[in-house]
Structure 1
């Protein structure tokens, strides 16, 4: 049972995948957005290749907990994923995940150029890990 975590952005989609036991999340790749069809095709390939059974999409909420325009776009994307891939798609509060990923990379002294290349998949891994940790506490 593998889960896939997504950090859905305007230009990229960060992708993370869980280990087979669903304990840890690892950043997998960053998809450079081109068209909805190509994006969904690549995500479908990942689902097939890794045997993904559930998808977690980061939901950007405002700091007061409300959902703004970016959050609505992510909700619509999650619905599309569910309709096309026929898998459960969960939304997970992603507030400050990119900030946290950036801070971790800065502390690791990763160059600005490298940070830009990996920040989205690291944010996806944080989203997925947060979701999995919350499920294990239940």
Structure 2
């Protein structure tokens, strides 16, 4: 729960094996904004240097990471990968890390982008970043 007089910066990540969407928000206004996607290394590893630069620049007090679950709430392969990513974020940067249900965030992101410009707007990076934004906005709404 966030105290109303305590304005903090939060980052949100939509974990993916190729790209990780990024969003930012302030607790005072409770609105999320998209940032650029971070591409993973070609080997599939996380590009930790880019995360270091991102966290140094924005100095978030909390990080929200989308938890990919099946529609019935059960885990899938990417659930374990996202949990592992969250563990490493917390360990490397010593920032409170919170997993938040992300079911249908990608579907919603695709719908929003498609409605703004058809198939041409459905760029993978845009989808990932907007998904992160939706995850953070959802977290704000659940923690008013």
Give me the TM-score of the superposition, normalised by structure 1: 0.90
Corresponding residue of 2:33? 26
Q: Does 1:4 align with 2:8?
A: no
Task: Give 4+ residue runs of structure 1 displaced > 6 Å after superposition.
Answer: none
Which of the residues 100, 103, 107 maps onto 2:111? 103
Q: Does 1:85 align with 2:93?
A: yes
Take 1:99 and 1:119, find their aligned partners in 2: how far apart are those partners? 9
Cα deviation, 1:26-46, whole Å, max 9, x if unaligned, reads 010111111646x22211211
Which of the residues 72, 78, 95 maps onto 1:70? 78
Structure 1 unmatched runs, 5+: none
Which of the residues 119, 139, 142 maps onto 1:134? 142
Take 1:6 and 1:13, find their aligned partners in 2: how far apart are those partners? 6
Alpha-carbon deviation of 1:22?
Answer: 5.1
3-state SS of 2:75 partner: coil
Structure 2 unmatched runs, 5+: 1-7
Take 1:53 and 1:115, find their aligned partners in 2: how far apart are those partners? 30
User: In 2, are the aligned partners of 1:102 and 1:115 still within 8 Å (CA)?
Assistant: no
3-state SS of 2:61 partner: strand
Between stretches 39-48 and 16-25, larger displacement belongs to 16-25
CA RMSD of aligned residues (A): 1.6
Take 1:95 and 1:20, find their aligned partners in 2: how far apart are those partners? 22
Q: Does 1:120 align with 2:128?
A: yes
**Larger helix proportion, structure 1 or 2?**
1
Alpha-carbon deviation of 1:99?
Answer: 0.3
Aligned length: 135
